[in-house]
């Protein structure tokens, strides 16, 4: 048996954190590329999706749901509002808040983004069988839930 110590094969590639990072980079590249033609970015999708999932919300609530900073929410809502994909109106019940609502055009746009991003997932997971994909998502979810506690401040 040779000394395992001086061989250390594939040190870089072996680290799960590094694997995850490289996959995230690839995934982001695919997603950005797919979204580019629509004039939207990942933040826009995250916001539209959060609105579709939970209904109209204040900007602060959107930030908490998506993990996007309040200040970045402002810019994202600005851009979506400019394209009339969402509406920003003052909340009569609490005048500190703006209520953000998806417009019909926004819903249509989201459906297109959904379609595009579904394609990205397929491309990303192409090497895996259907069963493995479920396994993969399950493991990812559990890892995230475990590490997720650390993330939140």
Partner DNA sequence: CCAATTCGTTGGCCAAGCCAATGTTGGTAG
Partner DNA sequence: CTACCAACATTGGCTTGGCCAACGAATTGG
Give the residues lining the site for DNA (CB under 7 A): 21, 25, 32, 41-43, 58-61, 63, 67-74, 77-78, 88, 94-98, 153
Give the footprint of a copy of itself on residues 116-135 (CB under 8 A). Answer: 117, 120-121, 123-128, 132-133, 135
Quick one: what does residue 115 bind among DNA, a copy of itself, none, with the CB cut-off 5 to 8 Å set by partner type? none
| Residue 38 half-sphere exposure toward CB, CA atoms < 13 A | 24
Give the footprint of a copy of itself on residues 31-70 (CB under 8 A). Answer: 31, 46, 49-50, 52-53, 65-67
- Cβ closer to a copy of itself: 24 or 94? 24
Query: Is residue 140 within the footprint of a copy of itself (CB under 8 A)?
Result: yes
Query: Which residue ranges make up the site for a copy of itself (CB under 8 A)?
Result: 8, 10-17, 19-31, 46, 49-50, 52-53, 65-67, 114, 117, 120-121, 123-128, 132-133, 135-137, 139-148, 150-151
């Amino acid at each position: 048996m040779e000394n395992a110590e001086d061989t250390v094969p594939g040190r870089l590639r072996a680290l799960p954190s590094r694997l995850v990072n490289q996959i995230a980079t690839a995934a982001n590249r695919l997603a950005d590329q797919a979204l580019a033609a629509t004039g939207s970015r990942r933040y826009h999708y995250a916001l539209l999706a959060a609105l579709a999932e939970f209904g109209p919300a204040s900007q602060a609530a959107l930030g908490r749901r998506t993990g996007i900073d309040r200040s970045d929410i402002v810019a994202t809502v600005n851009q979506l509002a400019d394209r009339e994909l969402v509406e920003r109106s003052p909340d009569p019940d609490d005048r500190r808040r703006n209520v953000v609502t998806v417009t019909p055009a926004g819903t249509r746009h989201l459906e297109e983004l959904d379609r595009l991003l579904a394609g990205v997932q397929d491309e990303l997971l192409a090497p895996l069988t259907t069963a493995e994909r479920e396994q993969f998502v399950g493991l990812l979810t559990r890892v995230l839930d475990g590490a997720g506690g650390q993330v939140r401040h």
